[in-house]
Amino acid sequence: MDEPRPRLVQRFSGAERTLHWVYALLFLILLLSGLFLYLGPGQNPFLDRRELMRSIHLDAALALVALFLLVAAGSPGTLRRLRDDVEWFDRDDARWLLWVLVPRRLRGRPLPPQRRLNAGQKLNTVLTAAATVGFTVTGTLMWGGSALPTSLSEAADTWHLLLTEAMIPLVAGHLVVALLFPSTRGALRGIVTGRVRLDFARRRHARWAETLEQGEDTV
């Protein structure tokens, strides 16, 4: 006898998934082109194409700004929903962050129930958004170049590099959790298809699943 088809719930809209994947692609382009601009002779295979790398870096940065403007204009509810998701950080979120790295057999209890985004995803979203603003401001100052005081352009360059160094482990951790942990495969499926299984939502995002079931928002 065939098993019943698992019930699915809509976790991410098409606009949210587009924002996620286009941002990820542009960030990768910015990271690699920025790395080639930063590396010196003997380390940089693209040293003789520095102007090309600079153009790619600038074009990707402009595309990133355009991405957020397009989403804000074409689907304002997307950014509003993300803001609402991360706006509240309550006691359950703090306890989740405190216990998430402790194996369940040691903590002896389930993690606190979470909403559509768990506390780690909220923190990642806030840090990524803050870094994006920082990259935009410092990158604009660096682009100003000779028109600005030397101290300001040098400070912008330093902070741009520090932001990059801070974002690399954040992105690496995000990829490790998303791709290598079997328990998070449901979340990966959600950001690809937009839907997750209801039983996954109940286990990982119980407070969100409860609101969904009250509205019977399943497919």
Number of structural domains (the chain) is 1
Tell me whether residue 196 is in a domain: no
Task: Tell me which long-range contacts 120-128 makes (C-beta under 8 A, separation of at least 24).
Answer: 120/96, 120/177, 122/85, 122/86, 122/89, 122/93, 123/97, 124/170, 124/174, 125/82, 125/85, 125/86, 126/86, 127/170, 128/167, 128/170
Helix (H) or strand (E) holding 196: strand 195-197
- Say how far apart CA 197 and CA 201 lie, in whole Å: 6
CB 119 within 8 A of CB 53: no
Tell me whether residue 23 is in a domain: yes
Tell me whether residue 149 is in a domain: yes
Tell me whether residue 5 is in a domain: no
- Say how far apart CA 112 and CA 96 lie, in whole Å: 6
Tell me whether residue 219 is in a domain: no
Q: What is the pTM of this model?
A: 0.88
Tell me whether residue 76 is in a domain: yes
Domain of 27 in residue numbering reads as 14-113+121-181
Tell me whether residue 142 is in a domain: yes
Phi-psi region of 203 (alpha: psi -120 to 50; beta: other; left: phi over 0): alpha
Tell me whether residue 201 is in a domain: no
How does residue 42 score in pLDDT terms, banded at 50, 70 and 90? low
pLDDT, tens only, 52-72:
888 999 999 999 999 999 999
How does residue 146 score in pLDDT terms, banded at 50, 70 and 90? confident
The domain spanning residue 105 has which CATH number? 1.20.950.20
Given a cut of 90, is residue 4 above it in pLDDT? no
pLDDT, tens only, 103-141:
878 888 889 999 999 999 999 999 999 999 999 999 999
pLDDT, tens only, 171-186:
999 999 999 888 888 8
- Say how far apart CA 204 and CA 9 lie, in whole Å: 13
